Chains A and B, each alone.
Chain A
Amino acid sequence: MSSNQFVRHTDNDQSGLPAGRASARPAPGRAEVLPYAPIDRDAAGAGHKRRNRLRGRAEIALFAGPALVVYLLFVMVPVGLAGYYGFFKWNGIGPLTDFVGLDNYVRALSDPVFIGAIGHNFFFVIASLLVQGPIAIGIALLLNRPMRGRSFFRVLVFVPYVLSEVIAGVAWLLLLQPNGPFDALLTSLGLGDAVQLWLGDPTIVLWTMLAVISWKYIGFAIILFLAGLQGVPEELAEAAQIDGASWWQIQRHITIPLLGPTIRIWAFLSIIGSLQLFDLVWIMTGGGPANATSTMATYMINFGFTRSQYGYGSAVAVILFIISFAIAIVYQRFVLRRDTEGALTRRVG
């Protein structure tokens, strides 16, 4: 390496030491043998500082630049454009001329199908939290105990999460088809009367989807909770045990509260995920039957791509974003703020 300077050090280290004066030279070590005295100690120090600052700037640009460019161009610009297109009636071809103001927004928010889609998203938000949370905490607490074959169990419990939405969706389509294996299972258990058109009956299908979604994503919750449990010190549980606390008391009063930050972050991710739900629904029902499982995202793709209404689809995307953003802000403000250890709240800047 040609230079041995660190920006941070040289900034603090210009008290007139010989090395500091020789800043213009590539080999600072030789400064002391220079025959002539420096003209102005301060000026030399400042030049040094400036050079290092420039060097630091170049490093910052070089290191952060590529990521920033890719991110801005392919994430931020499209998001910004979505906000812009949302004000136009536009089929995606030709110039943007048909400015309609907030008409797209009014149209979306007065469409019962879209309102229904928002309702389905919130159904998935709340139901996923209530179903997945307690089950995942329970499983994580159990799998955190010393037991034979624990790592084997762990891998198996996570399997659905690793499968792609498409594979999970196609598999469940086959399992739940009329007279399919799931129905056959129920019949063989003597529950033949419970057989339904799982994906065809608008009154049932939302619950079917909830079950599949829970099956698919609960592994993620368990992974997170197990990771969080690794941070819960065993000494506390051991001390409580000496004091005569039962296993359940220890979990209830020590482990679960200490797992709080992880639970709150998982809930955050789960809420955002449920609001943005697309893949599984699109593959399994396409939002049907009779819009019974449509979500904001399937509604948007349906209008944006299938019907080429880019302006309207963009407005829907913006509404989806605003809802996610508002919930994220509120959650951050009132829930995550309690967690000084939270990854999303800490060390910003």
Chain B
Amino acid sequence: MATITLPSGSASQRVPAGRRIDWGQPFVYLVALICIGITVVPIAYVILGGFRTTGQLAAKPNGLPDPWVLDNYAAVLSSPSFWTQVGNSTIAALVTTIGVVLLGVMAAFVIARYEFRGRGTIYTLFTAGLLFPLSVAILPLYLLLQNLGLLGSIIGVIIPQIAFALPTTIVILVPFLRAIPEELEDAASIDGSSRVGFFWRILLPLSSPGLVTVGVLAFVGSWNGYLLPLLVLNDPAAYTLPLGVQAFSTQYSQNTALVLAFTSLAMLPALIFFTLAERRIVGGLSGAVKG
């Protein structure tokens, strides 16, 4: 009976709720527009600036492109080094993401669903990693990579990135995997599935929202990574996009418009990716925050 009365009750409440929001709406839009102005105008400036010439920029820093110039974007898009950097960033981010998600979900599975001595220690070990920023470990890590012969190679960026992304990944995934009901595991067991079979066939598909979230975080983290590539990659041919942007902006500091075009194109992949994954990020973080 309660289930019948509740919805009708809340439906009648929604009417005044709607009316109340109406008068506040213009204010809400105003504030939202101001916020968006502050966040977006600098980015819009960079993108639009790429359509101007350096002469236009110097003469009228705040003007719109007049006329619109496509040369800067064309120059960047036809430069092989830009595409090399896009390729390097893509490889690094993809391999890092796959590695983090795979290793992370396997470890999180053990922490979430196995009973054994030392489980608490392992979990604490990983959560402690949240407090170890890359900068604390970077000097010895650099020497370690040097000894392993990984300096200058993209693998030397990927492996530490995986290692440093594991704590976040595991902290987010453990509650996810633990939330999957025991009954499912029991049912799988009765149907003749082993624990490993349960992991592959039931747990992984069910926890895919969490996996996507940590995957997105790992991808964005790798794509935007700066300190590690800065130290590990010394050959411009191996540069990732952030290093490329910095090198380009220094090299062509006199040609502001070209730098703006390069920067715009470098930010584009992250923007597209984020727009597509925004819901996942918010959803995944809410899972992590609420436990």
Contacts and interface: CB of A to CB of B under 8 A. Distances in A.
Interface in B171-215: 171-172, 174-175, 178, 185-186, 189, 192-197, 199
Interface string A132-153: 0000001100110111000101
Interface in A20-72: 56-57, 59-60, 63-64, 66-68, 70-71
Given A162-B220, A165-B226, A227 B282 contact: yes
A71 B166 contact: yes
Nearest to A163: B267
A78 interface: yes
A73 B166 CA distance: 13
Given A60-B114, A300-B135, A349 B166 contact: no
Given A82-B139, A342-B291, A77 B123 contact: no
A151 B278 CA distance: 9
A252 to B, nearest CB: 15
A1 B192 contact: yes
Interface residues of B, number: 117
Contacts of A158: 274, 278
Interface in B124-179: 124-127, 129-133, 135-144, 159-160, 162-164, 166-167, 170-172, 174-175, 178
Given A1-B194, A348-B127, A82 B140 contact: yes
Contacts, number: 329
A219 B285 CA distance: 13
Interface in B29-50: 29, 31-32, 35-36, 38-40, 42-43, 45-46, 49
A97 interface: no
A50 to B, nearest CB: 14
Interface in A296-329: 297, 300-301, 304-305, 310, 313-314, 317-318, 320-321, 324-325, 328
A81 B140 contact: yes
Nearest to B171: A343
Give the most central of A164, A181, A261: most B CB within 10 Å: A164
B106 A314 contact: no
A155 B39 CA distance: 11
Contacts of B162: 70, 74
A343 B106 contact: no
Interface string B247-291: 001000000100110010011001101110010011101101111
B137 to A, nearest CB: 4
A254 interface: no
Contact of A317 (B28, B137, B195, B275): B137
B127 A344 contact: yes
A130 interface: no
A154 B125 CA distance: 35
Contact of A227 (B103, B267, B283): B283
B274 A328 contact: no
Interface string A142-185: 11011100010111111110111111001111110001110111
Contact of B256 (A9, A174, A183, A188): A174
B19 to A, nearest CB: 11
Given A139-B35, A301-B135, A75 B103 contact: no
A324 B144 contact: no
Given A70-B163, A156-B39, A75 B129 contact: yes
A283 interface: yes
A3 interface: yes
Contacts of A223: 281-282, 285
Contact of B278 (A7, A138, A154): A154
B270 A164 contact: yes
A208 interface: no
B266 A167 contact: yes
Given A74-B141, A304-B139, A283 B246 contact: yes
A13 to B, nearest CB: 11
B231 interface: yes
B289 A278 contact: no
A318 B136 contact: yes
Interface in B53-81: 57, 60-62
27 contacts: A6-B194, A67-B106, A67-B107, A68-B125, A139-B35, A146-B21, A147-B21, A147-B29, A155-B274, A155-B275, A157-B35, A159-B271, A159-B274, A164-B224, A164-B266, A165-B224, A166-B224, A167-B267, A174-B249, A174-B263, A184-B60, A231-B290, A247-B21, A272-B131, A282-B226, A301-B135, A321-B133
Closest 6 CB pairs of A and B: A349-B120, A227-B286, A164-B224, A74-B163, A81-B140, A78-B137
Interface of A: 1-9, 56-57, 59-60, 63-64, 66-68, 70-71, 73-79, 81-82, 85, 92, 138-139, 142-143, 145-147, 151, 153-160, 162-167, 170-175, 179-181, 183-185, 188, 215, 219, 223-224, 226-228, 230-231, 235, 238, 241-242, 247, 261-262, 265, 272, 276, 278-279, 282-283, 297, 300-301, 304-305, 310, 313-314, 317-318, 320-321, 324-325, 328, 341-344, 346-349
Given A171-B263, A183-B61, 13 more contacts: A1-B193, A5-B194, A71-B167, A78-B140, A82-B139, A139-B31, A154-B282, A156-B40, A163-B271, A166-B224, A166-B242, A167-B267, A188-B62
Interface of B: 10, 13, 16-17, 20-21, 24-25, 28-29, 31-32, 35-36, 38-40, 42-43, 45-46, 49, 57, 60-62, 103-104, 106-107, 109-111, 114-116, 119-127, 129-133, 135-144, 159-160, 162-164, 166-167, 170-172, 174-175, 178, 185-186, 189, 192-197, 199, 220, 223-227, 231, 241-243, 245-246, 249, 256, 259-260, 263, 266-267, 270-271, 273-275, 278, 281-283, 285-286, 288-291
